[in-house]
């Protein structure tokens, strides 16, 4: 960008900020710890989660002791340019209602961006209705790589500094940031210092690398979070994110990192009461959430995604309800499934009590509590199978002594005869055709093979069910067209706005 272009952009930014201040009244802009105290020194924080930290979920989470909530991540460019996207992401913003109004506070709105001017325009639209604007520097998903935002800005420090400093200079409310760590502690510390020096007034540190996602999520590194807190914690509040499965983990995280608060994403999704010592009956949480949705319009896809997570342990047992939930297209159907699940879980709990079954002090092989399936509980993501062991197992199938197994150019297994065979045996045993080892579907108890082009490594039926469960319709081989069309107004919007649950 030329100097003249920078000057022109600065003039536009100054004018836009002045217009916002003229139309709305704002309290004095606070910084760092003063800002943190002004919003109640929040200790328990609900993370920004695409399509999942919507208003209804924030209301439910606040009932269970969440001190601060983030909106889902919004795409700043789409938020500015597309009124339909803006209305879908934040209903009634154009009417000045701003999310849930005064009952939905304190609230931080998160944007992804790679253009400072678009980011400022989007931030000014929401500034009157929230307490701060957060910049997503942590999203690890492929859509973020294609869109050049989130954690894929980690190597572009000048751009990150420009994004933050532009908001810090012109926005009438504070700017905050959410980051991931580098493999090296020293680089992570320097990165955090740059973010704070650029103007971030609160820093959330997700203790995982950019590569740690999905089945490769692994364990967050609290030692790196502590190192960041020790380096910049005297300037701004540092919030820890990662490894929160149970309520007890919150206190342990604060103890080990020294952070001012803890943010929960998946832990909150599977048990919205995680900020309390409770593990409520899942059907009670589902009924409470649906009642909130009756009062505040919520997209069916969001509701379906939340119910899949709340009921996850029970759906593995009552599989017919899992299928019905995946196909449900109305709120009434969601209620019917929830009521039926409630009846079944009450019977399950009573049968367990009568049988004398006890879950007190029961733990699994890793020492985690074993809870009955009718209670809300964390989800332990299973690692992908070890492909080397899988191949070893497949090649250990017994064969005649004269056969030798080798790998051909296509990487498939083929059987050929050994040099020790007699001519007559060779005549009888012509080279066998290539034997392709089937790729088993990763669906539960499914013995079908999966398509080589399926991104979820499932057969058609399991893949479509899985897409409904995770509320992400990204498999081109097994499209769920009706839901894709319902949830995405256009290909461009989907390309720009889609992302995973957790940044």
For 149, the token pair is 């935002």
CA angle centred on 298, ends 297 and 300, rounded to 5°: 130
> CB 442: neighbour CB atoms within 10 A?
19
Q: Among candidates 200, 239, 302, which has minimal Cα distance to 67?
A: 239
CA angle centred on 174, ends 501 and 128, rounded to 5°: 85
Residue whose entry in the numeric block shows the structure tokens 């994403």? 265
Are 206 and 181 within 8 A, CB to CB? yes
Provide block-wise average pLDDT over 10 residues at a time, the chain (503 residues): 88 96 95 97 97 94 97 96 90 60 89 97 95 96 90 96 98 98 97 98 96 82 98 98 95 98 97 96 98 93 96 95 94 98 97 90 87 93 57 45 35 37 48 47 69 75 77 76 46 37 53
> CB 410: neighbour CB atoms within 10 A?
8
Q: Which H helix or E strand runs over 84?
A: helix 83-89
pTM across the whole model: 0.77
Q: Among candidates 487, 463, 486, which has minimal Cα distance to 475?
A: 463
Residue 403's pLDDT is 35
Among 139, 259, 463, 475, the active-site one is: 139
Residue 280's pLDDT is 96
Listing DSSP states for 98-125 in one string gives -TTGGGS-SEEEEEE-S-HHHHHHHHHH
Task: Please say if 463 is a catalytic residue.
Answer: no
C-alpha 438/C-alpha 385 separation (Å) is 15
CA 198 and chain centroid, separation: 27
Q: Among candidates 270, 268, 262, 220, which has minimal Cα distance to 240?
A: 262
Q: Among candidates 94, 472, 503, 74, which has minimal Cα distance to 302?
A: 472
Listing DSSP states for 148-186 in one string gives T-GGGGTT-HHHHHHHHHHHHHH-SS-EEEEEE--SSHH
Phi, psi of 45 (to 5 degrees): -130, 135
CA distances from 58 to 47, 51, 53, 153 (A): 10, 12, 6, 28
For 360, the token pair is 């007190």
C-alpha 439/C-alpha 49 separation (Å) is 33
Residue 164's pLDDT is 98
List Cβ neighbours of 380 (8 Å cut-off, separation of 6 or more).
245, 368
């Amino acid at each position: 960008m030329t100097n003249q272009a920078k000057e022109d952009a600065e003039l536009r930014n100054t004018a836009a900020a002045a217009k916002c201040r003229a139309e709305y009244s704002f309290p004095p802009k606070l910084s760092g710890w003063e800002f943190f105290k002004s919003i109640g020194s929040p200790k328990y924080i609900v993370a920004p989660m695409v399509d999942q930290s919507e208003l209804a979920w924030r209301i439910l989470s606040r009932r269970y002791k969440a001190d601060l909530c983030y909106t889902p991540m919004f795409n700043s460019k789409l938020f500015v340019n597309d009124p339909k996207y803006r209305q879908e992401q934040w209903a009634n913003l154009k009417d000045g209602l701003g999310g849930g109004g005064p009952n939905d506070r304190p609230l931080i709105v998160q944007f992804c961006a790679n253009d400072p001017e678009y980011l400022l325009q989007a931030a000014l639209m929401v500034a009157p209705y929230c307490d701060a604007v957060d910049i997503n520097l942590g999203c690890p998903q492929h859509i973020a790589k294609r869109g050049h935002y989130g954690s894929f800005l980690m190597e572009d420090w000048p751009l990150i500094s420009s994004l933050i400093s532009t908001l810090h200079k012109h926005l009438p409310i504070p700017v905050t940031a959410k980051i991931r760590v580098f493999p090296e502690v020293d680089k992570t510390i320097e990165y955090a210092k740059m973010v704070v020096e650029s103007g971030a007034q609160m820093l959330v540190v997700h203790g995982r690398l950019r590569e740690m996602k999905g089945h490769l999520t692994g364990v967050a590194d609290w030692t790196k979070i502590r190192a960041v807190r020790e380096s910049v914690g005297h300037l701004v509040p540092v919030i820890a994110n990662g490894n929160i499965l149970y309520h007890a983990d919150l206190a342990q995280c604060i103890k080990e990192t020294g952070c001012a608060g803890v943010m929960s994403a998946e832990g909150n999704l599977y048990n919205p009461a995680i900020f309390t010592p409770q593990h409520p009956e899942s059907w009670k949480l589902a009924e409470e959430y649906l009642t909130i949705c009756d009062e505040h319009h919520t997209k069916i896809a969001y509701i379906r995604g939340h119910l899949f997570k709340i009921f996850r342990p029970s759906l593995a047992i009552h599989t017919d309800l899992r299928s019905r939930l995946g196909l449900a297209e109305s709120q009434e159907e969601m209620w019917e499934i929830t009521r039926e699940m409630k009846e079944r879980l009450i019977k399950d709990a009573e049968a367990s009590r009568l049988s004398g079954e006890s879950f007190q002090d029961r733990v699994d092989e890793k020492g985690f509590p074993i809870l009955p399936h009718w209670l809300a509980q964390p989800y332990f993501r299973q690692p992908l199978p070890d492909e080397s062991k899988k191949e070893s197992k497949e090649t250990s199938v017994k064969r005649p002594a004269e056969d030798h197994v080798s790998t051909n150019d296509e990487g498939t297994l083929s059987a050929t005869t050994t040099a020790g065979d007699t001519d007559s045996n060779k005549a009888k045993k012509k080279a066998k055709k290539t034997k392709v080892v089937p790729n088993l579907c990763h669906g539960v108890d499914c013995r079908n093979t999966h398509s080589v082009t399926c991104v979820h490594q499932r057969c058609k039926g399991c893949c479509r069910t899985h897409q409904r469960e995770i509320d992400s319709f990204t498999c081109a081989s097994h499209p769920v067209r009706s839901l894709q069309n319902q949830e995405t107004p256009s290909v461009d919007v989907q390309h720009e706005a889609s992302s995973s649950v957790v940044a």
